[in-house]
Amino acid sequence: MTAVQNPGKSYYVSTPIYYVNDRPHLGHAYTTVAGDVLTRWHRQRGEQVWYLTGTDEHGQKIMRTAEANGVSPQEWCDKLVEEAWKPLWEHLEIANDDFIRTTEDRHTARVQEFVQDLYDKGEIYQGGYEGPYCVGCEEYKAPGELLDGEGEFAGSKICAIHKKPVEMLKEENYFFKLSEYGPKLLEFYAANPGFIQPESARNEVLRFVEQGLEDLSISRSTFDWGVQIPWDPKHVIYVWVDALLNYATAVGYGSDQAKFESTFPADVHLVGKDILRFHAVIWPAMLMANGLPLPKRVVANGWLMVGGEKMSKSNLTGIAPQDLTAHFGVDAYRYYFLRAIPFGTDGSFSWEDFSARYTSELANDFGNLASRVAAMVGKYFGGVLPEATASGPAEAALAEGLAKAVAESDEKIGERLDFAGGIAAIFDFVKQVNGYLTEQEPWKVAKDESPEGQARLATILYAAAESLRGVAVLLNAVMPRVSGLLWDSLGAEPALGVLADQRIGEAARWGTLPAGVTVTKGEILFPRLEEKK
Ligand code: MSP
């Protein structure tokens, strides 16, 4: 099961594939931005990376939405994918390598093969099921998981996540022998303690599996919007089995063996905590059953909350990311959610908190620093970066600060997915550079016209610009556009190449930015916010 890692293998990260019953909101964008930062970071480590996202288009939820809108499910999906989902990822500068849709032939044909293989191996049998089903979750629920409805739903049992009544279903289904995989899964979790993160998520899954698993209904026969069961076309494959397989079909399962071997399994499946069990229990069991390697990690993020509830379109609390980017810009948007909410815990969005961080951290600490340094190189050296010939302990401390920021952010963002901690480490360094300028007072040193005074002035400004060179490299994954502006303003590109090609491992090499480059003031990185409507 623990195949030897193929040395040519890509670092493979996935987002959940999103239901296209509606437009994306902040909650969906949260995970997708996190995955984008993680994969950009690994690209800058010099690794080969594969970042996958996509859409989940089958099932009753989509079918009913399409019906309610008077169009076919396929038309509905096509419209939403092209008009809402793909444009949002472009807008947020998501650099995904592929976008899989579960209605594509490259997916559906392979899903049928996978399920047929399980059937041929005796892992699937026919039975019947009766129980409460939540169409929002697309999942049969155990009676104990339900809540008593209140108000308009008084007297009904409701889903704890969607807060809507469940439906009683009675169907003839096919079942996957999931119950047989409990002990094997527990053994796998014990041997791979980092498989489920964070710790709270791991504990929840362990408790769930330890209680014993039931077999999983993997087909539905009362509607037809899905992938047909190959040996019994009256049934469609359960939407979750169909959806999970995207992680295999998108990277060549059954169609491109070389691609599959160099990509699969995922290094990180990013998931919301509500869909953890599907990824940490059902998905590995499906893979075990078909003799495929298991993912390295499943990392659950918390929810963005509104008024104490999970933000969602069905609760009418879904905020469109564009409502925020129009005001704060895309870079600040990408920064804010990862900086403000420790990854793995729930967090509330607040306009005031966003504005406060924008002004103090981005505009004042970072943006002003960049523009002051460029302005001083312009004023005192005609925009040509001078050489540092009089370095001392203060510059050594800066170089050390940069090295610390690189090491900490690499460990936190690149390994632990602690985005908030990693970004904080970079911004501690930004603060250190501000402190350095306050102490060194280059504007006063500039008045000393002696050669020693001029050499100190040159050294201070070089050190500040060189620090910003490091900051641009480290922030590129989080804020690619603004970091690119900074890179341009430092005149770094002709000498050092494009920003995205700068390696994290070399970011701390002090003295990388060559003296003599042209430093320009450029666009303001974080303009003052407009008054809110
Ligand atoms: N289609 C399934 C996933 C299949 S993956 C093989 C699905 N789709 S979803 O669109 O409902 O949700 C996708 C992801 O968005 C989930 O990880 C979910 O946790 C996340 N979020 C939805 N609302 C959210 C918040 N308010 N906050 C953070 N993430 C949330 O489930």
User: pLDDT tens digits, residue range 202-216?
Assistant: 999 999 999 999 999
Architecture (CATH level 2) of domain 358-532: Orthogonal Bundle (1.10)
Can you tell me the distance from the alpha carbon of 529 to that of 330, in angstroms, rounded to the nearest whole number?
A: 13
Cβ-proximal residues to 216 (8 Å cutoff; 6+ apart), any chain: 175, 176, 178, 238, 241, 282
Q: Confirm whether 137 is a catalytic residue.
A: yes
How far away, in angstroms, is 27 Cα from ligand 1 center?
Answer: 7
pTM (2 d.p.): 0.95
How far away, in angstroms, is 183 Cα from ligand 1 center?
Answer: 28
Side by side, the strands of the sheet bearing 98-101 are 98-101, 49-56, 11-19, 268-272, 298-301, 196-197
Indicate which atom in ligand 1 lies nearest the CA of residue 279.
6
Indicate which atom in ligand 1 lies nearest the CA of residue 274.
19
Note the pLDDT of residue 307. 75
Note the pLDDT of residue 314. 66
For the chain, domain boundaries: 358-532
Could you read off the pLDDT of 420-471 as tens digits, one per residue? 999 999 999 999 999 999 999 999 999 999 999 999 999 999 999 999 999 9
What 3-state class would DSSP assign to 305?
A: strand
From the candidates 61, 159, 269, 412, give the one annotated as an active-site residue: 159
Cβ-proximal residues to 352 (8 Å cutoff; 6+ apart), any chain: none
Which helix H or strand E contains 320, and what residues bound it?
Answer: none
What 3-state class would DSSP assign to 266?
A: coil
What residue ranges of the chain have pLDDT lower than 50? Answer: 1-4, 533
Q: Atom 2, ligand 1: which residue's CA is nearest? A: 18
Q: How far apart are the first and last CA of the chain?
A: 57
Q: Residue 247 corresponds to which tokens in the numbers above?
A: 């992680």
Note the pLDDT of residue 2. 40
Instruction: Output the CA torsion sign for 34, 40, 46, 52.
Output: positive
Note the pLDDT of residue 316. 61
Is residue 159 a known part of a binding site? Answer: yes
CB 528 within 8 A of CB 502: no
Secondary structure of 163-188 in HEC code, one letter for each residue? CCECEEEEEEEEEECHHHHHHHHHHH
Indicate which atom in ligand 1 lies nearest the CA of residue 137.
31
- Mutation test residue for ligand 1: of 61, 138, 244, 303, the one with most atoms within 8 Å of CB: 303
Note the pLDDT of residue 312. 79
Note the pLDDT of residue 144. 86
Q: Residue 246 corresponds to which tokens in the numbers above?
A: 């995207």
From the candidates 61, 107, 269, 310, give the one annotated as an active-site residue: 310
Is residue 77 a known part of a binding site? Answer: no
Could you read off the pLDDT of 404-422 as tens digits, one per residue? 999 999 999 999 999 999 9
Indicate which atom in ligand 1 lies nearest the CA of residue 311.
26
Can you tell me the distance from the alpha carbon of 373 to that of 370, in angstroms, rounded to the nearest whole number?
A: 5
CB 294 within 8 A of CB 1: yes
> What residue ranges line ligand 1, CB within 6 angstroms?
16-19, 27-28, 30-31, 56, 243-244, 246, 271-272, 274-275, 303-304, 310-312
* β-strand partners of 128: 172
Percent of the chain as helix, strand, coil, to the nearest 5: 50, 15, 35
